[in-house]
A and B are shown apart, each in its own frame.
Chain A
Amino acid sequence: MTLLFLPTLIVAAVAVWLGARLLARRRQQGVRAHSRPGQFGTLALIWTVVPAVAVLIASAVVTPALEQGLIASGAPEAVAELEPLRRNAFFADARAVADGQPAARIWEPPYAELMPAEGARVARIAGRLDLAGVALAALAALAGALFAFSRIRPEMRARNRVEAWIVGLLFACSAVAVLTTLGIIASLVFDSLRFFASVPITEFLFGTQWSPQTAIRADQVGSSGAFGALPLFAGTFLIMLIAMTVAAPVGLFAAIYLSEYAGPVFRATVKPVLEVLAGVPTVVYGFFAALTVGPAFREFFNGVGASLAGGPLDGLGQYLMLVQNQMALVAGAVMGIMLIPFVSSLSDDIINAVPQSLRDGSYAMGATKSETVTRVLLPAALPGVAGAMLLAMSRAIGETMIVTMAAGLAARLTLNPLDTVTTVTVQIVTLLTGDQEFDSPKTLAAFGLGLTLFLVTLALNVIAQRIVHTYRQQYD
């Protein structure tokens, strides 16, 4: 019904717009009017659509509770005695049966017989409520339109009113950004609080044992999960460190070369290539890390191990021979490559922001280009570069696909790059993609991890943006 009403409303709105335009044109004849007929039309349109939509939204909010009350009040005794959850399931199934679909579960005799009649009743109530909502909305639209038509006068300032509505609408658009942030915080905090109610926050932050496999049934063996996230933080940190070891020097040197040495042609060819590298989806990097880099690294280390085994470094050799595909080094190195364009484009901007006079001064003193870069440009750009690195770190910490596909699941407290480690993001994906019941600590733990991740990356971003901002102002 509502779906039928919406096209009708659109048609009505167009009609109102045309009508109000015509009416305004007629009433304006021979008079100096403030606004153009079209603006009257738009105002009338707003007066028609806004009340109707408001009524529709209100009815969508109110109807479910009302519907439940009405359904429950007229229910036969056998159904009314059911516990609320089962009762709702019964009504949902009754409705499905009335619609000619199979019920979701099997109901025993007293209920099975009641089903068709109840289904018809439920459908009738829902239909009437729907109709009532639509009728109210139509009334509101009609009233609004009539009101608008009655107000059309040549001296009325329709344009100002329409424009106030438009600005309000634009403001609402930009408020969505703030609402998104609030939504993120609310959803993370709400579920995290429930998680911290069952797992103390200190245990979560400082515990060294991570095994979130809680039992699905209460009597299952090994039902107590451990939620010490320290190994995850260590793994995240280790991979971030490896990634930065690759990305920071390579990205920085690439930026220096591009901004100080490269000619315009070289720049024009290399920059798009770096952009392509930045545009490759992370799932592709993950695929590459898991199926190409991982096996290659494993073969290399196993080979080195085989040649060392039996020699003076036998222990190391034995260890290297057992290295697996999924090691921190693989995920870290590939992530580092992924971050190169990010670091280099940020650093490029920052180095370019250093005033030319500093360069000229240095050259005038007889310094070579490299001396100018290392002794003048980099010290001058240091805060900006540090900010860029912090932003890259935040990217590395929040990166998900590469680590999910290439780092592994074993939560170990280690700083050995050849070990399998796991990260915060990997665990969020793992916890939320398996079989889950929504209220178990296992799924809630993902929100705890998400909150931690959000706060850490937010802190890094805020600090970095502040540093870069101050740095830029210094040279403006």
Chain B
Amino acid sequence: MTEAAIPSGRTADADAVRADRLRSGLRRRYARERRFKLYGLLAIGVAVGFLVLLLGRIFDQGHTAFYAHSIETPVYMDPARIDRAYPQGTNFELLVAEQQLARMGVQDDAQGARAAAMRGLFSSELKFLAAERIQAEPELIGQTVRIAAPLADDADLYFKGEITLDTPAAQRRLSDEQIGWLDRMRAEGMVSSHFNSALFTRGDSTEPELAGVLGAVIGSALMLLVTALIALPLGVGAALYLEEFAPKGRLTNLIEVNINNLAAVPSIIYGLLGLALFINWMHLPRASPLVGGLVLALMALPTIIIATRSSLKAVPPSIREAALAMGASKTQTVFHHTLPLAMPGVMTGAIISMAHALGETAPLLLIGMVSFVPGIPHGLTEPTGALPSLIYIWENASERAFHERTAAAIMVLLAFMIVMNAAAVLLRRRFERRW
């Protein structure tokens, strides 16, 4: 502007050139600005896109595990084959397979290979169900009974479209003949699809169609109970001491640095600590919820301390001063006023760190939770599984049917975490006070 006022042809020319250069420079700079902004959006897009991909993929892999196929078949309780005194000893699967072959008019060979192949389509649960019926009502021997039992994992996968005829027979777990039988049985209306209740009512099993997450869910719940009972009082106590009572000094400083560093120690190190301290030195039972809960408590402790301290800090000093002025002692001030006011924040932090502990896997592997534990745990000192370690075990299993169940177990785990985090958010919204 000032330059325009100078009346000189040469400078005006130079001005035009400069303005031109500035304009084009400005264009470049604005382009760079847009590019830069785009990179930022792209980075966020990557993160969000990945989350969508991750969740979508897990749902895609896991939703089929929530239903399963079972078969209802008439069983002639052959008196010649069933031992009245000991029905559990009967090979019901083979019995049913042979009867099924006979009904379908298929001739077996001398070795009984077809009966074995047919038998492979039924779950071993069939045997237990049949034996139970006979034990309850021995008069059924000699009659024909209808029994509904789950199909074996491979047959189930075929009906879910995971095993198809397009795959070369050598790479398939089902032969052409077996698939033919399955199609015929379905056409006859013997096969039905239903909600896979086994997934939620059973413990782990080597057979995918009978494997469920209940054992692991209860194991995880017991572990979290131990964690909460230990980490919560200890964490709140430590935070109260550091925030309200500790004299400023070397020792306090040491404790604070210590807690900050503990929060960043890799979780697997806590596993090593648990193994050396609780199992090898104190001889607590391996793979028990007690040991798991202790290890997770030590892990959760720094987070709980940090969260508690920040919510104690948020309580304004005027509250403390008012209480002290009324003649309350330091301890009374803290326990009657500061802590109750900080409680919503404390609980929020505690729930979030519990949710985090729920998903922690590495330390659990080191204290023995990688071994196969069937059934439902009953106590704190029995070996159990936990949800995250169950996911790890199932992911390693060779049966295809475990893959969808792994994804389903992940969905269960994520559901629990979402519930806990939602509870924390609600708690914060409902009770948080801004001073």
Contact = CB atoms under 8 A, between A and B. Distances in A.
A183 B421 contact: no
Given A253-B42, A258-B44, A454 B238 contact: no
A287 B273 contact: no
Interface stretch (B27-35, B95-103, B180-188, B189-197): B27-35
A369 B358 CA distance: 42
Interface stretch (B47-55, B140-148, B158-166): B47-55
Interface string A410-453: 00000000000000010011001100001000000011001001
B234 A176 contact: yes
A400 B410 contact: no
A370 B50 CA distance: 26
Interface stretch (A71-79, A137-145, A187-195, A352-360): A187-195
B419 interface: no
Interface in A182-202: 183-184, 187-188, 190-191
A430 to B, nearest CB: 10
A51 interface: no
A465 B260 contact: yes
Nearest to A341: B47
Interface in A350-408: 368-371, 373-374, 391, 394-395, 397-401, 404-405
A280 B414 CA distance: 8
B79 interface: no
B265 A184 contact: yes
Contacts of A258: 40, 44
Contact of A274 (B47, B259, B406): B47
B413 interface: yes
B331 A187 contact: no
A191 B281 CA distance: 12
Interface in A129-172: 159, 162-163, 166-167, 169-172
A291 B238 contact: no
A369 B33 contact: yes
A291 B403 contact: yes
B58 to A, nearest CB: 7
Contacts of B61: 291
A18 to B, nearest CB: 20
Given A170-B241, A438-B280, A257 B37 contact: yes
B365 A433 contact: yes
How many B residues touch the partner, as a band?
35 or more
B266 A399 contact: yes
Contacts of B331: 162-163, 166-167
A257 B360 CA distance: 31
Contact of B407 (A287, A341, A373, A425): A287
Main secondary structure, interface of B, reads helix
B324 interface: no
Interface in B311-341: 329-331
Given A253-B43, A290-B395, A450 B268 contact: yes
Interface in B225-272: 233-242, 245-246, 254-255, 258-262, 264-270, 272
Nearest to B391: A283
A454 B264 contact: no
B356 to A, nearest CB: 7
Contact of A184 (B259, B273, B360, B414): B273
A180 B262 contact: yes
A257 B45 CA distance: 11
Contact of A273 (B48, B233, B268, B301): B48
A273 B392 contact: no
Interface stretch (A22-30, A82-90, A120-128, A456-464): A456-464
B267 A400 contact: yes
Interface string B363-378: 0011000100000000
A458 B258 CA distance: 11
Interface in B370-418: 370, 388, 391-392, 395, 403, 406-407, 410, 413-414, 417
A433 to B, nearest CB: 5
Contacts of A425: 266, 268, 362
Interface string B202-224: 00000000000000000000000
A247 B110 CA distance: 64
A286 interface: yes
B57 A288 contact: yes
A364 B412 CA distance: 54
B264 A428 contact: no
A321 interface: no
A135 to B, nearest CB: 26
A169 B259 CA distance: 18
A288 B58 contact: yes
B431 interface: no
A214 B122 CA distance: 42
24 contacts: A166-B331, A167-B245, A174-B305, A178-B254, A180-B273, A180-B301, A256-B40, A257-B43, A280-B51, A280-B359, A283-B361, A283-B388, A290-B395, A337-B46, A337-B47, A340-B47, A368-B29, A370-B32, A370-B35, A432-B365, A433-B365, A433-B370, A453-B266, A453-B268
B355 interface: yes
A251 interface: yes
Most buried by B among A162, A188, A290, A370: A370
A344 B44 CA distance: 10
Interface in B258-309: 258-262, 264-270, 272-273, 275-277, 280-281, 298, 301-302, 305
